[in-house]
Amino acid sequence: MNKVIEFDEAQSTLYCEAGCILETLQNHTKDLGYMMPLDLGAKGSCQIGGNLATNAGGIKFIKQGSMHSNCVGLKVVLADGTIIDQMDPHVTLPIGYDLKQLFIGAEGTLGFITECAIFCPPYPKNRQVALLASNDYEQIMKCLQISKKELSSQLSAVEFMDWESASIAMDYLSLENPLSDEYKYYILIEMSGNSQEELLQEQMLELLEKLEDHYEDGLMCESETQKDQIWHIREGISMAASGYGLAFKFDISLESKDFEDIILKTQERVNHLGGRVLGHGHIGDGNLHLNTVMKGFKDMDTAKQIKEALQPFVFDYIKEKNGSVSAEHGIGLLKTDYLGHSKSSEMIGYMGMLKKVFDPKGILNPYKVLPDHAFKPGTD
């Protein structure tokens, strides 16, 4: 289950088995001059089957789109052993229902993915990375809006982190602060393409000029090492939070203008318990990782109080803002009761009906995704 089947250069498409590790596929396609359209912190351990099952987003989402758009073929084994083979995109795509889309993001509740075909664009020859900082969140939003408008399809990633997140990662990874001071908020902007490096550099400098009034400090990376270091800080936050002590993690989706508000409100709720709130994520597509950490392991009573301070507060906030209770990490077992915060009862009803069609006995990932009332195994 972990073999690359082939790379079809004419179609820029990778065919592989579902157990391939994402990073292995990234290296494989890079060697051929192509790029996996997905990149995320867990790349060294996650498998492409898991990425598809969770409809993983990651840092390239803003440019490359979701697994729904990049997965052009899928082979799935259903609960009764039936094999749905939609691996040849040319034969199956243009007509009828696109069944494979049902299995992407279904977290293995409708079928088990065994093979996939992923569209991989050419690997961009050059990239430029800038890190900008401000104490005013509104200015970070301005930087986001202007970067999106000015760079358009050359914008390959825009990431947000607050000081709490950046500093915990720098401490954990023993990295120096790349800027000369501490700021409340940071935005990492990456552009990439096949233009010559000098041209890309010029374009980034032009962008920074346009952003001049909206950041207090910043840098444009001068070497590949520096680019990697900046990315290392951003990608190290999740691991640093887990290593810090007790960590309560939410992965939510909401309009990026509300990021600061929910971070501050969450911090207010856990201040008296000694909780430290970290906010970071893919600001370009409204995905916020909202983590609350505590140094070392405190007693169970404090842990319970923190949990109660956070939940259902975070999910209710999301509901009010029409956001999603999970952005990238799926619903799993723990968030089924909150699915209704982000999906209507009609949608959940139809999801339950689909589950009955594909897995009437409920043997595939039982109790995941759907709340109890939406699906009862073995019932009509």
Ligand X SMILES: Cc1cc2nc3c(=O)[nH]c(=O)nc-3n(C[C@H](O)[C@H](O)[C@H](O)COP(=O)(O)OP(=O)(O)OC[C@H]3O[C@@H](n4cnc5c(N)ncnc54)[C@H](O)[C@@H]3O)c2cc1C
Applying CB under 6 A, the residues found at the interface with ligand X are 18, 40-42, 46-47, 49-51, 53-54, 56-58, 107-108, 112-113, 238, 328-330, 365, 368
Which CB sits closer to ligand X, 129 or 211? 129
Structure token pair of residue 253: 């989706």
Q: Which residue has the tokens 């430029």?
A: 128
Cβ at position 77, least distance to ligand X in Å: 9
Amino acid in the structure at residue 200: L
Q: Where are the alpha helices (DSSP H) in the chain?
A: 22-31, 48-53, 61-64, 67-70, 89-92, 100-103, 137-151, 163-173, 197-211, 224-244, 259-270, 300-310, 313-320, 345-358
Q: Which is nearer to ligand X, 14 or 211 (CB)?
A: 14
Nearer to ligand X, 134 or 287 (CB): 287
Please state the closest distance from residue 196 (CB atom) to ligand X, in A. 30
User: Least distance to ligand X from the beta carbon of 317, Å?
Assistant: 21
Complex with ligand X: residue 41 or 352, whichever CB lies closer = 41
Residue of 180, 179, 202, 183 whose CA lies nearest to 191: 202
Neighbours of 213 (CB within 10 A): 7
Q: Nearest approach, Cβ of 55 to ligand X (angstroms)?
A: 7
CA distance 119 to 73: 9
Shorter beta-carbon distance to ligand X: residue 102 or 294:
102
For residue 289, give every residue at least 6 positions away whose Cβ sits within 8 Å of its Cβ, in sequence order, or none.
237, 238, 249, 250, 251, 278, 279, 280, 281
The smaller minimum CB distance to ligand X, of residues 58 and 193, is found at 58
d(CA 119, CA 5): 14
Centre a 10 Å sphere on the Cβ of residue 154 and count the other Cβ atoms it contains: 20
Shortest Å distance, C-beta 26 to ligand X: 13
Nearer to ligand X, 129 or 207 (CB): 129
Asked if residue 38 lies in contact with residue 22, where contact means CB atoms within 8 angstroms, the answer is: yes
- In the complex, what is the shortest distance from the CB of residue 40 to ligand X, in angstroms, rounded to a whole number? 4
Report in angstroms how near the CB of residue 332 gets to ligand X at its nearest: 6
Q: What is the CA radius of gyration of the chain?
A: 22
Question: Quick check: 248 and 306 in contact, CB under 8 A?
Answer: yes
Give the Cα separation of 9 and 280 in Å (integer).
36
Q: How far is the CB of 58 from ligand X (least distance, A)?
A: 4
**Least Å from the CB of residue 207 to ligand X:** 24
309/318 with CB nearer ligand X: 318
Choose between 57 and 275: whose C-beta lies nearer to ligand X.
Answer: 57
Strand order in the sheet with 245-253: 217-220, 126-134, 185-193, 155-162, 276-282, 287-295, 245-253
